[in-house]
Chains A and B, each alone.
Chain A
Amino acid sequence: MTFLRSILLRREAGILIMIVIFCAAVGLYKPQFLTGQSLRIVLLLTPLIMIGAMAQMLVLVARHVDLSIGSMLGFSAMVVGLMYREIPDIYWLVGFPVAILTGAILGLGNGLLVTIFKLPSIIVTLGTLSLYRGLTFIISDARQINRSVIPTELKAMSRTSPIFDIPWIILIAFGIAGITYVIARHTQLGRQIYALGSNPEAAPLRGIDVTKVTLIVFTLAGALSGLAGILYASRWGFVNPSNTGAGFEFQVIAAVVIGGVSINGGVGTVMGTVLGVLLLGCVAAALPLLGIPGSTQNAIYGAVILIALLIDRSVRQRGMISVAGAAK
Chain B
Amino acid sequence: MTPERPMLIEARGISKQFGGVEVLSDVDLDLHVGEIHALLGENGAGKSTFAKILAGVHSPTRGTLKLNGQTVDVSSPIAAQKLGIALIHQEPVSFPDLSVAENIVMGRQGGGLLSRVPWATIIADAERYLDMLGVSLDVNRPMRGLSIANQQMVEIARSLASDSKLIIMDEPTAPLTPREVDTLFAIARRLREEGRTIIFISHRLEEVRMLCDRVTIFRDGAHISTQSIDSISDDEIIRLMIGRTLKKFMRKHVAEIGETALEVSNLTLPGLFEDVSFSLRRGEIIGLGGLVGAGRTDVARALFGVQPAASGRISIGGSDATIEKPTDAINLGLAFVPEDRAGHGIFATLPVEHNLTAAIPGKVAPRGFISRKVERSISQKAVSDLSVRLASLRQPIVELSGGNQQKVILARWLLTEPDILILDEPTRGIDIGVKAEFYDMIGDLAEAGRAILLISSELPELLSLCDRILVMSEGRVTAELPRGEATQENIMQAAVPRSGVAA
Binding site for B on A (CB under 8 A): 185-192, 194-195, 197-199, 201-202, 205-208, 212-213, 216, 265-267
A266 contacts B97, C-beta separation under 8 Å: yes
CB contacts (< 8 Å) of A190 on chain B: these are 117
Report B158-197 CB contacts with A as 1/0, cut-off 8 Å.
0000000000000000000000000000000000000000
Binding site for A on B (CB under 8 A): 77-78, 81, 93-98, 102, 106-107, 109, 111-117, 119
Residue of A nearest to B113 (CB): A189
CB-based closest 6 A-B pairs: A266-B97, A206-B107, A189-B113, A198-B97, A198-B95, A207-B107
B95 contacts A266, C-beta separation under 8 Å: yes
Given the known interface contacts A188-B109, A191-B102, A207-B107, the answer about A202 and B95 at a Cβ–Cβ threshold of 8 Å is: yes
Residue of A nearest to B102 (CB): A191
Partner of B117, one of A191, A205, A265: A191
The CA of A198 and the CA of B98, in the complex, are separated in Å by 8
Given the known interface contacts A205-B78, A206-B107, A207-B78, the answer about A195 and B114 at a Cβ–Cβ threshold of 8 Å is: no
Residue of A nearest to B143 (CB): A198
The CA of A303 and the CA of B117, in the complex, are separated in Å by 40
The CA of A191 and the CA of B111, in the complex, are separated in Å by 13
A195 contacts B106, C-beta separation under 8 Å: yes
The CA of A197 and the CA of B97, in the complex, are separated in Å by 9
Residue of B nearest to A182 (CB): B116
B94 contacts A199, C-beta separation under 8 Å: yes
Partner of A198, one of B96, B113, B114: B96
CB contacts (< 8 Å) of A192 on chain B: these are 113
Given the known interface contacts A190-B117, A191-B98, A191-B102, the answer about A199 and B93 at a Cβ–Cβ threshold of 8 Å is: yes
Partner of B113, one of A186, A188, A266, A267: A188
CB distance from A322 to the nearest CB of B (A): 15
CB distance from B313 to the nearest CB of A (A): 32
The CA of A201 and the CA of B117, in the complex, are separated in Å by 23
CB contacts between A and B, total, < 8 Å: 66
CB distance from B42 to the nearest CB of A (A): 28
CB contacts (< 8 Å) of A197 on chain B: these are 97
B96 contacts A188, C-beta separation under 8 Å: no
A199 contacts B96, C-beta separation under 8 Å: yes
Given the known interface contacts A205-B77, A207-B107, the answer about A187 and B96 at a Cβ–Cβ threshold of 8 Å is: no
A267 contacts B102, C-beta separation under 8 Å: no
A sample of 30 inter-chain contacts (CB < 8 A) reads: A185-B117, A186-B119, A187-B115, A187-B117, A188-B111, A188-B112, A188-B113, A188-B117, A191-B106, A191-B117, A194-B95, A194-B98, A195-B106, A197-B97, A198-B97, A198-B98, A199-B93, A199-B96, A201-B93, A202-B93, A202-B95, A205-B78, A206-B77, A206-B95, A206-B106, A206-B107, A207-B107, A213-B113, A266-B95, A266-B96
From DSSP, what is the main secondary structure of chain B's interface residues? loop
CB contacts (< 8 Å) of B98 on chain A: these are 191, 194-195, 198, 266
CB contacts (< 8 Å) of B116 on chain A: these are 186-187
Point out which of B77, B95, B98, B119 has the most chain A C-beta atoms below 10 A from its C-beta. Answer: B95
CB contacts (< 8 Å) of A187 on chain B: these are 113-117
A199 contacts B95, C-beta separation under 8 Å: yes
A195 contacts B95, C-beta separation under 8 Å: yes
CB distance from B487 to the nearest CB of A (A): 42
Residue of A nearest to B92 (CB): A202
CB contacts (< 8 Å) of A201 on chain B: these are 93
A194 contacts B77, C-beta separation under 8 Å: no
CB distance from A108 to the nearest CB of B (A): 16
The CA of A202 and the CA of B81, in the complex, are separated in Å by 14
The CA of A197 and the CA of B95, in the complex, are separated in Å by 9
Partner of B114, one of A189, A202, A205: A189
CB contacts (< 8 Å) of B77 on chain A: these are 205-206
CB contacts (< 8 Å) of A213 on chain B: these are 113
CB distance from B323 to the nearest CB of A (A): 30
Point out which of A191, A195, A212 has the most chain B C-beta atoms below 10 A from its C-beta. Answer: A191
CB contacts (< 8 Å) of B97 on chain A: these are 194, 197-198, 265-267
CB distance from B56 to the nearest CB of A (A): 9
CB distance from A263 to the nearest CB of B (A): 13
A188 contacts B115, C-beta separation under 8 Å: yes
CB distance from B86 to the nearest CB of A (A): 12
CB distance from B154 to the nearest CB of A (A): 13
Residue of A nearest to B82 (CB): A207
CB contacts (< 8 Å) of B117 on chain A: these are 185-188, 190-191
The CA of A188 and the CA of B118, in the complex, are separated in Å by 9
CB distance from A59 to the nearest CB of B (A): 16
The CA of A267 and the CA of B94, in the complex, are separated in Å by 15
CB contacts (< 8 Å) of B111 on chain A: these are 188
CB contacts (< 8 Å) of A189 on chain B: these are 113-114
CB distance from B202 to the nearest CB of A (A): 23
The CA of A202 and the CA of B97, in the complex, are separated in Å by 13
CB distance from B102 to the nearest CB of A (A): 6
The CA of A186 and the CA of B111, in the complex, are separated in Å by 13
The CA of A206 and the CA of B95, in the complex, are separated in Å by 10
CB distance from B225 to the nearest CB of A (A): 33
CB distance from A211 to the nearest CB of B (A): 13
The CA of A201 and the CA of B81, in the complex, are separated in Å by 17
CB contacts (< 8 Å) of B114 on chain A: these are 187-189
CB distance from B15 to the nearest CB of A (A): 24
CB distance from B422 to the nearest CB of A (A): 32
CB distance from B333 to the nearest CB of A (A): 40
The CA of A139 and the CA of B298, in the complex, are separated in Å by 64
Residue of B nearest to A192 (CB): B113
The CA of A195 and the CA of B117, in the complex, are separated in Å by 14
Point out which of A187, A189, A206, A212 has the most chain B C-beta atoms below 10 A from its C-beta. Answer: A206
